[in-house]
Structure 1
Amino acid sequence: MYQYHNETFRNHNFDQANLQDGELSNCLFEQCTFQGALLEEMTSTGCRFVDCDFSGALLNASYHKESAFTNCKFTGANLFVSKFENCKMVGSDFSNASLAGITLAGGDWSYTNLRHTNLSRQDLRHIRFAEADLMGCNLQKSDLRSADLSNVQLSQCKLKGADLREAKLDGIDLKSLDLQGVRLDIQQAVLLARSLGAKVGN
Structure 2
Amino acid sequence: MYQYIDEEYVKVDFGQADLKEGELKGCTFHQCSFRGAALDEVWTTGCRFIECDFGGATLNASVHARSAFTNCRFAGANLFVSKFEDCKMTGSDFSGASLDGITIQGGDWSYTNLRHANLVKQQLRGIRFVEADLSECNLQKADLREADLSGVRLAKAALNGADLRGAKLDRFDFRSIDLTGVRIDLEQAVGVARAYGAKVD
For Structure 1 versus Structure 2, the TM-score category normalised by the shorter chain is over 0.9
Question: How far apart, CA to CA, are the structure 1 residues paired with 2:49 and 2:173?
Answer: 34
Per-residue CA deviations over 1:134-187 (Å, capped at 9, x if unaligned) read 011111111111101111110001111111111111111112311111111111
Alignment of structure 1 residues 180-199 onto 2, 5 Å = 180-199=180-199
Question: What is the match of residue 7 of structure 1?
Answer: 7
Equivalent AA in structure 1 for residue 141 of structure 2: K
Matches within 5 A, 1:146-157: 146-157=146-157
User: 1:193, CA displacement in angstroms?
Assistant: 1.1
Read off the aligned partner of 1:52 and give its amino acid letter: C
| Greater mean deviation of Cα atoms: 97-106 or 124-133 | 97-106
Q: Distance in 1 between matches of 2:118 and 2:56?
A: 19
Which residue of 2 is the match for residue 144 of structure 1? Answer: 144
Q: Gaps (5+ residues) in structure 1?
A: none
Per-residue Cα deviation, 1:32-69 (whole angstroms, up to 9, x for no partner): 11111010011101000001111111111111010000
CA displacement at 1:102 relative to structure 2? 1.1
Shift of 1:191: 1.0
Give the percent of matched residue pairs that are identical in Structure 1 and Structure 2.
65
Structure 2 counterpart of 1:167, one-letter code: A
- Count of aligned pairs between the two proteins: 201
How far is the alpha carbon of 1:200 from its aligned partner? 2.1
Query: Structure 1: how far apart are the matches of 2:195 and 2:55?
Result: 41
Q: Could you state the TM-score of these two structures normalised by the residue count of structure 2?
A: 0.97
Post-superposition CA distance 1:6-42 (Å, at most 9, x none): 1111111111111000000111111111111010011
Two-structure CA RMSD over aligned residues (Å): 0.9
CA distance in 2, matches of 1:140, 1:35: 31
Residue 33 of structure 2 corresponds to which residue in structure 1?
33
Query: Which amino acid in 2 is paired with 1:125?
Result: R
Q: What is the letter of the counterpart of residue 196 of structure 2?
A: L
Amino acid at match of 2:71: N
Q: How does the TM-score come out when normalised to structure 1?
A: 0.97
